Structure formats: structure tokens, C-alpha cells
Amino acid sequence: DAKTTQPPSMDCAEGRAANLPCNHSTISGNEYVYWYRQIHSQGPQYIIHGLKNNETNEMASLIITEDRKSSTLILPHATLRDTAVYYCIVRVAGGGSNYKLTFGKGTLLTVNP
Amino acid sequence: DAGVIQSPRHEVTEMGQEVTLRCKPISGHDYLFWYRQTMMRGLELLIYFNNNVPIDDSGMPEDRFSAKMPNASFSTLKIQPSEPRDSAVYFCASRRSGTSGRALSYEQYFGPGTRLTVT
């Protein structure tokens, strides 16, 4: 699996956009980028995933650079409830053992009032 | 949908005792995962099942840990005997295999976790 690098912590003002970076310079062509988050005392929650095109859903947007060596998760209007640890995971799509997720240390995003 | 259900939510036990954690996956999901989370080691995958069959248990720390899935709606993780270093939050997650279309989703649905304290 491609290794990911994320800043350990970030702050964001409530109502502003939160931009969380992830480096995955060793990503291979068939590996997807996935984002999960974990709010304190809860289980991780899936946010979004993508291969090479930018993706958007009701929770966030995912911007992947053209060379796919890095990506940014964007929470367009952060709220206090978005305070959580955000995990960037790179994994090959497919069945069997490819369903395993390896969580790193992630980024602790703190949204301030 | 009730989501992934885990019980108990909190467990405090003494060293040497047997501990059994329980999980009910989301109906229709054919993959089930057990994770352990500690401050030191983060979130680690212990074992996962597909169609009730254990597929990969390489993350199980030692023989004191065992997991079963007797049917599609129930799984247990047992620690016998328990030790203080087993203190952690244990998460169960499930997912449905494969999708047609553009990409296979890796969306796993996690339960609320069981916080285990071994004294």
C-alpha cells in the first residue's frame, strides 16, 4: 500500500473552509484515495473516495492533483461538529484482502468558534 | 437501519478473566471486521470475516484472542485470559462486498465500540 503523510493537527474557524492535505507520493495507478474521520468516542466514518478526478458529496470535496501524489479534503463550511481526526487511506480497489483498511495517525482538525 | 451494534459499550474486568465482546453487523453485509484502538498503536485491524469465514487473522495479537462468526448476524471477540495491556476500544465494522459501476467502495460502517478496561 502507498504510504500517506498527514499533518498531525490543524485548526479552522467555524464557518470557514477546512482544507486537509494528504501526501501519497508512492501511489500507484490502481490505488484509490479514501477519507474517513473519527469524532471523539465514536467509530470511524467514511467521508469520500476518489481515483483521479475530483469528487464531491454531501459531506466534502476531494481534490486530487494531476500527478496523484497528493490530495486535499475540503469541508466547505466547517462546524464545531466537524472536530475530529481525519484519516487519509490509499488502497487498491477490489475484493478479498483489498478490503483491509490501514489507518495511520491522521490529522486532528479542531474547529474553533 | 440500526447500524452496527456492539455490546457491551463498556467493560471493566480483572486480569485473568475471560472477556467476550459482541457485534451485530448491518443486515446484508457480508464482511465483518474487528479493530482495536489504543493511544500508542492507533487503530489496528485484528481479523476480518467474509460470509462468516475468517479470512485474515494476522492482526490478532496472540492466542489469548479468538473470534467467531457463527452466523451472518453475530460475531464475538473473546480474550482469555485478559491482561491490562488489552485495555483498548474495540470496534466492529461491516460492509457489503462489491458494487457494480465505477469503483468498488471501501465504505466500512463502524459500530460505537466497546471500551475495555482490564485492571
* pLDDT higher than 90, residue A2: no
Q: Which residue has the higher pLDDT, B95 or A21?
A: A21
C-alpha cell at A98: 483489498
Provide CB contacts within 8 A for A109, sequence distance 6+. Answer: A9, A10, A11, A12, A18, A20, A75, A78, A82, A83, A84, A85, A86
Separation in Å, CA of A77 to nearest CA in chain B: 23
The secondary structure of residue B28, as a DSSP letter, is T
C-alpha cell at B103: 469503483
Closest Cβ opposite residue A51 in set B97, B103, B110: B103
By three-state DSSP, how is residue A49 classified? strand
The secondary structure of residue B51, as a DSSP letter, is T
Separation in Å, CA of B48 to nearest CA in chain A: 8
Task: Give the DSSP H/E element, type plus range, for residue B37.
Answer: strand B31-38
Residue in A8, A23, A10 with CA at minimum distance from that of residue A90: A23
Residue in B24, B33, B14, B31 with CA at minimum distance from that of residue B116: B14
* pLDDT at site A94: 60
Q: For residue B84, which phi and psi values (nearest 5 degrees)?
A: -55, -35
* pLDDT at site B103: 44
Closest Cβ opposite residue A94 in set B48, B95, B104: B104
The rounded distance, in Å, linking the Cα atoms of A27 and A63 is 15
How confident is the prediction along chain B (119 residues), in pLDDT tens digits per residue? 689 999 999 999 999 999 999 999 999 998 999 999 999 999 999 999 999 999 989 999 889 999 999 999 999 999 999 999 999 999 999 988 765 444 445 688 999 999 999 99
Residue in B40, B35, B56, B53 with CA at minimum distance from that of residue B113: B35
> Residue A19 is which amino acid?
N
Asked if B98 lies within 8 A of A102 by C-beta distance, the reply is no
Average per-residue pLDDT for chain A: 91
